[in-house]
Amino acid sequence: MGKTVILDNGHGGMINNEYQTAGKRSPNWTQGILYEGMFNRWVVNRIIEKLDRLKIPYYHICPEFNDVTLETRRNRANRIYEINPDVWLLSIHANAGGGTGIEAFTTIGQTSADGLANIVLSNLETDMQDTRMRFDLADGDKDKEMNFYILKETIPPAVLVELGFMDQRIDYDRLWDENYLGRLVDSLVRSVGEIAG
């Protein structure tokens, strides 16, 4: 397949202990508040280190700690596509709304992103067997479909993955857990490597 990943950590990070995004956080349970944009950066930063060690190429469209606007993220992704059309976008998020488990989104309708999401979700299903996979199999693949801005407005095929629910206690504990996080990252790195060919 031979596509290079464009990494996107959703929302803002921490600057001098101040979260840069409104909302988008867990309740203040035993380990404290899990800020989604902070967590998303943990995942992307760990992916980047592993890709460096494996010499697998990547792009990163929002290395800043402030909450880079969706328009800027789109512009950066599309500019990369102009230089190198053999790319796909992986947007990392954590979920809210009280469910449990992992789900991934592509735009509505059949596009090349569906096959990429299937690779990501199949590897997560194999690697995270203790975790509920929130598949939508109605259209013959595993991803869910929503026209989120970062999916619809970017030219490269794009997959948005929600790695767990910040506001559900089991998922909250898992997202803080180094071992669980390591397994999530290893699975995503595996998919990025497979798609890179």
Question: Residue 76 is inside which H or E element, if any?
Answer: helix 70-83
- Measured between alpha carbons, how far is 37 from 66 in angstroms, rounded to an integer? 10
Other beta carbons within 10 angstroms of residue 145's beta carbon come to: 20
- In the bound state with Zn ion, the residue whose beta carbon lies nearer, of 3 and 76, is 76
- In the bound state with Zn ion, the residue whose beta carbon lies nearer, of 3 and 93, is 93
Rounded to 10 degrees, what is the CA torsion of 177, 182, 183, 187?
140
Q: Which one of 2-10, 111-119, 135-143, 174-182 is the stretch in contact with Zn ion (CB under 5 A)?
A: 2-10
Q: Which one of 81-89, 90-98, 114-122, 187-195 is the stretch in contact with Zn ion (CB under 5 A)?
A: 90-98
Q: How many residues sit in the footprint of Zn ion (CB under 5 A)?
A: 2
Q: Which one of 3-11, 43-51, 152-160, 169-177 is the stretch in contact with Zn ion (CB under 5 A)?
A: 3-11
Q: For residue 23, what is the DSSP state? A: S
93 near Zn ion (CB under 5 A): yes
Residue whose CB is nearest to Zn ion in the complex, by number: 93
Positive or negative, the Cα torsion across 106, 166, 42, 35? positive
- Measured between alpha carbons, how far is 161 from 180 in angstroms, rounded to an integer? 16
Mention every residue, 6+ apart, whose C-beta is less than 8 A from residue 166. 25, 26, 34, 36, 39, 94, 95, 96, 172, 175
Site string for Zn ion, 148-187 (x = CB under 5 A): ----------------------------------------
Q: Which residue, among 48, 44, 19, 47, has the nearest Cα to 34 in the 3D structure? A: 19
25 near Zn ion (CB under 5 A): no
101 near Zn ion (CB under 5 A): no
10 near Zn ion (CB under 5 A): yes
Q: Which one of 10-18, 41-49, 101-109, 177-185 is the stretch in contact with Zn ion (CB under 5 A)?
A: 10-18
- In the bound state with Zn ion, the residue whose beta carbon lies nearer, of 27 and 85, is 27
Residues of the shown chain interacting with Zn ion in the complex, contacts defined by CB under 5 A: 10, 93
